[in-house]
Chain A
Amino acid sequence: MPSAPDTLFHKVWKRHVVTVTEDATLLYIDRHLVHEVTSPQAFEGLRLSGRKVRRPELTFATLDHNVPTENQLDIREPMSKRQVEALRTNAKEFGVTLYDMGSGRQGIVHVIGPELGLTLPGLTIVCGDSHTSTHGAFGSLAFGIGTSEVEHVLATQTLWQGKTPKALGIEVKGKLPAGLEPKDIILAVIRAIGTGGATGHVLEYYGPAISAMSMEGRMTVCNMSIEAGARAGLIAPDDTTIQYITATKRPFAPTGAALESALADWKLLQTDDPSAFDRIVTIDASSLVPQVTWGTNPAMTVDVTGRIPEPDQVPFTSREDARRSLEYMGLTPGTPISEIPIDIVFIGSCTNGRIEDLRSAAQVFRGRKVAAGVRALIVPGSEPVREQAIAEGLDRVFTEAGAEWRQAGCSMCLAMNPDKLTPGQRSASTSNRNFEGRQGPGGRTHLVSAAMAAAAAVTGKFTDVRTLLSQGV
């Protein structure tokens, strides 16, 4: 009798079951990524109970959230410095590899995992960070955890999971039009299902627009799965995945016989049939236009050609919550998106801080200038991304346009370093959260793609990047 079709997610889940109880599953964790913000209390917990890190060779740390991007080595805030020092001390004491500033490998934790070859299909990957969902782009089951769980994984290399998540298929049909980016797809998905639309679910993205996408783009899509409330987001590995892992030298990627056996295994990592999903949502990429968020959560999104909605016309949101959002954002219903002036442009983060994002921004900046009164920060996601951009001459495109070319870190994605909005300032940002105060207290964030952020930088407002690209320079 043929077995019932299964999903990629369940296949990966099942291979990691250590033991089960009545209503919980103990999962084995293959890679544990660590950064300075959510780990100090976990290491302290180990110390207090006299425990060790069970598998230090599967645990990797980096510094990203607090890192200044003008001069990484000059951390002026005492609290940031203390946190950075704490991770250095903990990594040394517990035998964990740390990719420190200047190591050539430092960067945002979700950017460096794939670069190092740590992120591979079929693995379980956790990190004390909700955007761990990024790594699902390789067909791994990757999710964010809290600090108590960080301590639990450090001590046991396992994690208890309650109810098994459901599998939600996100089919992305059609071909993404020129000028649009994977960011527009994921913003459209969140807009369609809401910020709580995938709570308790793992998303799997598939369909022609996903198959045609680069690994960088797939990471952007999986990255924001959490913004729909999903536990994780995955994409089945294919030739694009294998090419990414094997075509460049990645220190932890398998080679030789190990690679051969891995490749045979990765072929099995597919959803057998869409009927195996608990639910399916379909999006047509070919009908999308660039997306811009207007409110204080990532589902509050409209087309760049659209207008600010009336408070009683905001999906998934009560009139009162929508009214508070509009007030915080300083926006009036009916205003065309294209008439909203901006102060700051931030291009970077684990959503859009990879080389392709910088290339697409550079395409818009080339031969243009940052608009008067606007500040544009370009922050590569990692030291290797920065090196690559310099090798391609992108840094000069940015600086000649009048943008600031920075060092690697999380930067203005969450404003734990000196890069912050001041109250009332409005940004076009390639990051993933437009929450109140996310980029600095009182700051107003609009999420967009890298190309749209660049278009906002050179025009001083939200501009449909397709009009700039068709003009050429």
Chain B
Amino acid sequence: MEAFLTYRGRAALLDWSDVNTDLIIPARYLKRIERTGYGPLLFADKRYVPGGAPDPDHPESHGELASDFPLNASANQDATILIVGRNFGCGSSREHAVWAVAQAGYRAVIAPGKDDGFADIFEGNALNNGLLPIELPEADWETIATAVRTGPTEITIDLLRKRVTLHGNSDIEFAFDVPEGNRERILKGLDAIAETLLNDHAITRYEQSAPVWAGLSV
């Protein structure tokens, strides 16, 4: 996982609610056994003209981009921060959805809401991959979305201070929250398993106390 301290980039807006992970990456692309190569598959059924989505066997070859898909607009080509509608990432638990968003070049996703901006599993998967899922109150989100609708917009995400800055004539700052453990890990790019194994004695103690029928240890 790449360490993340502060990051400044261009924002793109996909103003749809309830975007599910089947839409983010269709199931036929989940046959790969690698962790990489998902970038071109992001939103495959929306991003390319009908029939132009990559072949699962040859994901590198694809057809023309669909002109009506918001993220294909030329202004969005070098965007690295994705602004999305509520309940983003609902549906399937496939981490491939997060890999696709991250490997398409996005470093953070910003949704409106309070605990309901992202679906729970997507949010966890994103944190585990250093793709920052940021929830902002509806009004703050709207301020950013309006700016993006109006013209090219740059945003800075400061994970140390937990602040999003919208750059414009004058900068506007918004606070966001992220679980402390995740923040720590993302800031330092740490391996979650190695961290957990520091609790090995506690895990072993737990195992010794489990009832026989729960542990299948007979």
Cβ B16 vs Cβ A321 within 8 A: yes
Distance (whole angstroms) from the CB of B22 to the closest CB of chain A: 4
Cβ–Cβ < 8 Å partners of B115 in chain A:
163, 199-200
Cβ–Cβ < 8 Å partners of B27 in chain A:
65, 414-416, 438
Other than the given A26-B199, A163-B179, A441-B53, 14 more pairs (CB < 8 A) read: A18-B202, A22-B181, A23-B181, A24-B180, A24-B181, A79-B57, A145-B124, A158-B203, A162-B182, A200-B116, A200-B120, A229-B119, A435-B20, A436-B22
Cβ A44 vs Cβ B203 within 8 A: no
| Nearest 10 Cβ contacts at the A-B interface | A146-B125, A146-B95, A40-B33, A79-B31, A254-B213, A196-B87, A144-B93, A148-B128, A147-B95, A130-B93
Q: A430-444, CB under 8 A of B: which get 1 and which 0?
A: 000101111001100
Q: Does B129 sit within 8 A of A, measured CB to CB? A: yes
Complex Cα spacing A436 to B23, Å: 7
Contact of A58 among B30, B56, B215, B218 (CB under 8 A): B215
Which chain A residue shows the least CB distance to B194?
A49
Cβ A317 vs Cβ B93 within 8 A: no
Distance (whole angstroms) from the CB of B138 to the closest CB of chain A: 13
Cβ A149 vs Cβ B128 within 8 A: yes
Contact of A79 among B23, B56, B121, B214 (CB under 8 A): B56
Q: Does B193 sit within 8 A of A, measured CB to CB? A: yes
Q: Given contacts A152-B192, A196-B18, are A30 and B90 in contact (CB under 8 A)?
A: no
Q: B28-51, CB under 8 A of A: which get 1 and which 0?
A: 101111110000000001000010
Q: Given contacts A38-B94, A147-B95, are A83 and B203 in contact (CB under 8 A)?
A: no
Complex Cα spacing A51 to B92, Å: 27
Q: Does B170 sit within 8 A of A, measured CB to CB? A: no
Cβ–Cβ < 8 Å partners of B191 in chain A:
49
Complex Cα spacing A321 to B202, Å: 48
Cβ–Cβ < 8 Å partners of B31 in chain A:
37, 66, 77, 79-80, 82-83, 416
How big is chain B's contact interface, by range?
35 or more
Q: Does A332 sit within 8 A of B, measured CB to CB? A: no
Contact of A437 among B22, B30, B90, B210 (CB under 8 A): B22
**B interface, CB within 8 angstroms of A:** 16-18, 20, 22-23, 26-28, 30-35, 45, 50, 53, 56-57, 85-87, 90-96, 98, 115-116, 119-121, 124-125, 128-129, 179-182, 191-193, 196-197, 199, 202-203, 206-207, 210-218
Which chain A residue shows the least CB distance to B180?
A23
Cβ–Cβ < 8 Å partners of B215 in chain A:
30, 58
Which of B87, B93, B191, B197 gathers most chain A CB within 10 Å? B93
Q: Given contacts A160-B181, A265-B211, are A321 and B95 in contact (CB under 8 A)?
A: no
Complex Cα spacing A200 to B116, Å: 7
Complex Cα spacing A80 to B129, Å: 26
Which chain B residue shows the least CB distance to A155?
B193
Complex Cα spacing A438 to B92, Å: 11
Complex Cα spacing A261 to B218, Å: 14
Complex Cα spacing A123 to B215, Å: 10
Cβ A416 vs Cβ B33 within 8 A: no
Complex Cα spacing A471 to B161, Å: 68
Cβ–Cβ < 8 Å partners of B96 in chain A:
147
A and B contact pairs by CB, cutoff 8 A, 13 listed: A19-B202, A24-B181, A38-B94, A79-B56, A129-B93, A145-B124, A156-B196, A160-B181, A163-B179, A200-B116, A317-B17, A321-B85, A433-B92
Complex Cα spacing A146 to B206, Å: 24
Distance (whole angstroms) from the CB of B88 to the closest CB of chain A: 10
Complex Cα spacing A78 to B50, Å: 24
Which of B18, B50, B94 gathers most chain A CB within 10 Å? B18
Q: A95-125, CB under 8 A of B: which get 1 and which 0?
A: 0000000000000000000000000101100
Q: Does A419 sit within 8 A of B, measured CB to CB? A: no
Cβ A51 vs Cβ B193 within 8 A: yes
Cβ–Cβ < 8 Å partners of B28 in chain A:
415-416
Cβ B57 vs Cβ A162 within 8 A: no
Complex Cα spacing A297 to B207, Å: 41
Q: Given contacts A156-B196, A297-B20, are A148 and B30 in contact (CB under 8 A)?
A: no
Complex Cα spacing A18 to B196, Å: 11
Number of A residues with CB within 8 Å of any CB on chain B: 80
Cβ B193 vs Cβ A19 within 8 A: no
Distance (whole angstroms) from the CB of B119 to the closest CB of chain A: 6
Cβ B35 vs Cβ A261 within 8 A: no
Complex Cα spacing A157 to B115, Å: 27
Cβ A146 vs Cβ B193 within 8 A: no
Distance (whole angstroms) from the CB of B180 to the closest CB of chain A: 5
Q: Does A391 sit within 8 A of B, measured CB to CB? A: no
Cβ–Cβ < 8 Å partners of A21 in chain B:
180-181
Q: Which A residues, 129 to 186, have Cβ-Cβ distances below 8 Å to chain B?
A: 129-130, 144-149, 151-152, 155-158, 160, 162-163, 165
Cβ–Cβ < 8 Å partners of B86 in chain A:
196
Contact of A162 among B33, B94, B179 (CB under 8 A): B179
Cβ B214 vs Cβ A195 within 8 A: no
Distance (whole angstroms) from the CB of A189 to the closest CB of chain B: 16
Complex Cα spacing A152 to B202, Å: 16
Complex Cα spacing A37 to B97, Å: 13
Q: Which A residues, 69 to 104, have Cβ-Cβ distances below 8 Å to chain B?
A: 77-80, 82-83, 86
Distance (whole angstroms) from the CB of B151 to the closest CB of chain A: 22
Which of B22, B119, B120, B216 gathers most chain A CB within 10 Å? B120
Cβ B119 vs Cβ A79 within 8 A: no
Cβ–Cβ < 8 Å partners of A23 in chain B:
179-181
Q: Which A residues, 51 to 66, have Cβ-Cβ distances below 8 Å to chain B?
A: 51, 57-58, 65-66
Complex Cα spacing A259 to B121, Å: 34
Contact of B196 among A26, A120, A324, A415 (CB under 8 A): A26
Cβ–Cβ < 8 Å partners of B20 in chain A:
297, 433, 435
Cβ A321 vs Cβ B18 within 8 A: yes
Distance (whole angstroms) from the CB of B184 to the closest CB of chain A: 10
Q: Does A41 sit within 8 A of B, measured CB to CB? A: yes
Cβ B95 vs Cβ A199 within 8 A: no
Q: Given contacts A259-B213, A437-B23, A438-B27, are A28 and B206 in contact (CB under 8 A)?
A: yes
